[in-house]
Amino acid sequence: MTVMEQRGAYRPSPPPAWQPRTDPAPLLPDAEPYRVLGTEAAGKADPDLLRRLYAQLVRGRRYNTQATALTKQGRLAVYPSSTGQEACEVAAALVLEERDWLFPSYRDTLAVVARGVDPVETLTLLRGDWHNGYDPHAHRVAPLSTPLATQLPHAVGLAHAARLKGDDVVALAMVGDGGTSEGDFHEALNFAAVWQAPVVFLVQNNGFAISVPLAKQTAAPSLAHKAVGYGMPGRLVDGNDAAAVHEVLGDAVRHARAGGGPTLVEAVTYRIEAHTNADDATRYRGDAEVEAWRAHDPIRLLEQELTTRGLLDEPGVEAARQDAEEMAADLRERMNQEPELDPMALFDHVYAETTAQLREQRALLRAELEAEQERNDAQEGGAR
């Protein structure tokens, strides 16, 4: 048969029946961020949990103001404050079991501390030290990640590996709105969904990636909608409502633990302070916007709920404040002590086996340090 005859014999017909591989409807986020405080749902919230959340929120805010003060005193190189975002931070830590893992970004110091890491050790990296400061295995908290979104594929890898080993572990990974534009975000969500890994992704949409507002970051209807494209549920929650964030994350953690796969949670919140102490936020946003968010403050929201329900009184507020003050005083005192630094330690843990180049550099530094020591000794001898 010639080619022309073949063409003549071809009878076009519609393609084989097509249908979506999964029904997208159950994966779609709600139209509005989910709220608990100030709604009927609040009546069902556990009073003990609300009180624990409150104590941690108050501590968290005080931690932020203290750490920011330490940058001004030259005790901390840089601090990205999470004031305004405490509800996300605290709920993320409290929702996990001891065996679970938290994967934080640089802004998530409050979550790290609320999970039990020493408040001073948590600041090691931000102090400008070469190492992370805390042992990730001790509290199952990965190092604070400065490169955006790189913690996400790590979380997926850990969760997937745990599942293969039969360990009942969930990983909760935190990322900012800007981080969702990173390739790592895409790769992590895709792998997590394909493998049905027990991971919860918490996006704190705080409005900005440094000076870039969300409108310039993405054209997606919401960040939670991104979940649908990967085949996982997307949930939208009021990120300043600690009870709501705790409930939504709790549902996602239980779903993951039961083998239901990953969830993407977008918590809508706001970064009240500048990006870090080195940033001037007045250059890219107005006071009115900040004030509108201050009126939806996570601590005040919970305080109001607790007082209305008779679960918190003036002495209770004072006790929480006092506890936070003590934590801040301890942080201040310990951060004001000179850290013991060994310059030679810079070469440890770079590679499992030291390279020739590192050995050479180490020898150079040792020689310089010894020469300096000799000069100092000679000067001291001369002065005597």
Ligand X SMILES: Cc1ncc(C[n+]2csc(CCOP(=O)(O)OP(=O)(O)O)c2C)c(N)n1
Given the rule CB under 6 A, which residues bind ligand X?
107, 146-148, 176-179, 206, 208-210, 271, 275
From first CA to last CA, the distance across the chain in angstroms is 109
Q: In angstroms, give the least distance from the CB of 186 to ligand X.
A: 13
Q: How far apart are CB 143 and ligand X at their closest, in Å?
A: 14
- Whole-number Å distance between alpha carbons of 10 and 48: 72
Minimum distance, C-beta of residue 88 to ligand X, in the bound complex (Å) = 10
Least CB distance to ligand X at residue 206 (A): 5
Contact status, residue 99 vs residue 169, Cβ threshold 8 Å: yes
- Give 384's contacts (C-beta < 8 A, 6+ positions apart): none
Query: Minimum CB separation from ligand X for residue 128, in Å?
Result: 16
- Sign of the Cα pseudo-torsion (189, 193, 195, 196, in order): positive
Which residues pair with residue 204 across a beta bridge? 176, 267
- Between CA 324 and CA 61 the distance in angstroms is 9
Complex with ligand X: residue 124 or 151, whichever CB lies closer? 151
Q: Is 235 exposed, middle or buried (CB count within 10 Å of its CB: 0-12, 13-18, 19+)? A: buried
Measured CA to CA, the distance from residue 175 to residue 105 in angstroms comes to 6
- Least separation in angstroms between residue 37's CB and ligand X is 23
Which residues contact residue 216 at a Cβ distance below 8 angstroms, ignoring those fewer than 6 apart?
A: none
**Whether the Cβ atoms of residue 144 and residue 135 lie closer than 8 Å to each other:** no
